[in-house]
Amino acid sequence: MDELNPPSPEVSPGEKPSGRKRRVSLLVLAIALLVISLIGGFQTFVPTAALQAGSRVVEIPPAIGLYGMARLLRDSEVIRGPLTFVVLTLLRGSARALRAGEYEFPKGASLVTVVRHIEEGRFRPRIITFAEGFTLREAGERLEEEGLATRADVFRLAHDPGFLWRLGIPANSIEGYLFPDTYHLFKGMRVEEILVKMVHRLWEVLTPDLLAQADDLKVSVHELLTLASIIEKEAVLGEERPLISAVFWNRLKRDMPLQADPTVGYAVRKINRALTLDDLRVDSPYNTYRNPGLPPTPISNPGKASIVATLNPAKVNYLYFVSMDGTRHHFSSTWSQHAAAVARYRGGR
């Protein structure tokens, strides 16, 4: 044996050394692909530890980009690997269709579930209830508190002539046309979408039967909502709405000023607060002590009960009412009766 030339490694008959190397390379590649598949499958179908423990809320901002979104989800412990998220969205063909917004990913959600939520825009709902008689100002403040819009944007759009015209609102403000209800809103919604949703709800409530009643009374929708908004702010007990409605209708028929405190409160921005004599003298078209007839716009957003009561006043001849205990009212047909009631329930004030 030549010690300077060691024997070459044995090979199978007819097999060249290059063939063996190719087999080894393929084996290594197969193992690598198997490992990658196992890791990818684990990251795709097994929820993160955080999602195994409970749901997670993540807000995805606009224009963050695909990989930026993937990193945000990883940092929020919603997914394990950004690369797996990117590859999955590319394979599903949804990489350009992912929607920014606030999401709540449920407990036990896999990567596939996370991707589907974002693809379909299953935003986390913000359930907000606007009570009967809320004002535009209160709506703006509430939406800002919830992080859904700024008060400035709400007020700007609420007085935009083009926007009001598109909604069929014959006024210079959206006040009175935002129906009180419980709404499912989403972070990322445009202000226009929110206000349109609330106005459309009003048009749903104003059924053909109610509009026919308004025609019979010879009042426009705007006048109907204006009077209903005052009744909404005056009434505390539901059964008193038709009586208060009757008082105001009787006054309008006699060309008497409505003398409704809530309209003055609206003018001086004193909602649900006591008025002074100086307030009652304020020079404003909303001061129904100084101006006969209805104010130019609604002073609140009335609910259906007040709208119905406006169209169905009680058949009484009352012209006055005074609060007895902050909840109930005493109704009178003459000034002398009313003066006696005021002396009794307000100590002569």
> In this predicted model, what pLDDT tens digit does every residue of 220-249 receive, in sequence order?
999 999 999 999 999 989 999 999 999 999
Instruction: Give the closest residue to 191 by CA, choosing from 237, 162, 152.
Output: 152
Residue 263 belongs to a domain: yes
The whole domain housing 276 covers 209-318
Size (the chain), residues = 349
**DSSP states along 128-172:** EEPPTT--HHHHHHHHHHTTS--HHHHHHHHT-HHHHHHTT--SS
CB-based contact 186:180 (threshold 8 Å): no
Using the 3D structure, point to which of 205, 229, 258 is the last residue of a domain.
205
Q: With respect to residue 175, please indicate whether it lies within any of the assigned structural domains.
A: yes
d(CA 98, CA 40): 21
Q: Are residues 71 and 165 in the same domain?
A: no
Q: Do both 105 and 151 map to the same domain?
A: no
Please indicate, yes or no, if residue 291 is contained in any of the structural domains: yes
Query: What is the rounded distance in angstroms from the CA atom of residue 322 to the CA atom of residue 97?
Result: 60
pLDDT digits (tens, 9 = 90+) for 286-327: 999 999 999 999 999 999 999 999 999 999 999 999 888 878
In angstroms, the CA 35 to CA 346 distance is 85
How many angstroms separate the CA atoms of 104 and 107, rounded?
Answer: 9
The first and second tokens of residue 295, run together, are 């104010």
Residue 8 lies in a domain: no
How far apart CA 243 and CA 228 sit, in angstroms, is 13
Based on the domain organization, do 171 and 217 belong to the same domain?
no
Same domain, 60 and 80: yes
What's the predicted TM-score (pTM) here? Answer: 0.77
CA distance 76 to 34: 28
**Domain presence at residue 34:** no
What is the distance between the alpha carbons of residues 202 and 184, in angstroms, rounded to a whole number?
16
In a domain? residue 173: yes
Both 228 and 305 in one domain: the answer is yes
Cα end-to-end span (Å), the chain: 130
Domain count for the chain, please give it: 3
Per-residue pLDDT of the chain (349 residues; tens, 9 = 90+): 445 455 555 555 555 566 666 665 555 445 444 444 444 454 565 788 888 899 999 999 988 999 999 999 999 999 888 888 888 888 888 888 898 889 999 998 888 899 998 998 888 889 999 999 999 999 999 999 999 999 999 999 999 999 999 999 999 999 999 999 999 999 888 999 999 999 999 999 999 999 999 999 999 999 999 999 999 999 989 999 999 999 999 999 999 999 999 999 999 888 777 788 888 888 899 999 999 999 999 999 999 999 999 999 999 999 999 888 878 998 999 999 999 988 988 764 4
Looking at the fold, whether 136 and 190 belong to one and the same domain comes out as yes
Exposed e or buried b per residue across 8-36, where buried means at least 16 C-beta atoms within 10 angstroms of its C-beta: eeeeeeeeeeeeeeeeeeeeeeeeeeeee
In a domain, 2, yes or no: no
> What is the reported pLDDT for 63?
85
Residues 190 and 237 both lie in one domain: no
Q: Same domain for 270 and 305?
A: yes
Which among 329, 307, 310 has a CA at the least distance from the CA of 320? 329
Handedness of CA 10, 12, 14, 20 (dihedral sign): negative
- State whether the Cα torsion 303-304-310-316 is positive or negative: negative
d(CA 38, CA 32): 10
Q: What's the pLDDT score for residue 36? A: 45
pLDDT at 40: 47
220 and 298 housed in the same domain: yes
Whether residue 215 is found in the same domain as residue 258:
yes
157 shares a domain with 84: no
pLDDT the model gives residue 240: 94
The alpha carbons of the chain give a radius of gyration, in whole angstroms, of: 34
66 and 135 within one domain:
no
| pLDDT (0 to 100) of residue 271 | 75
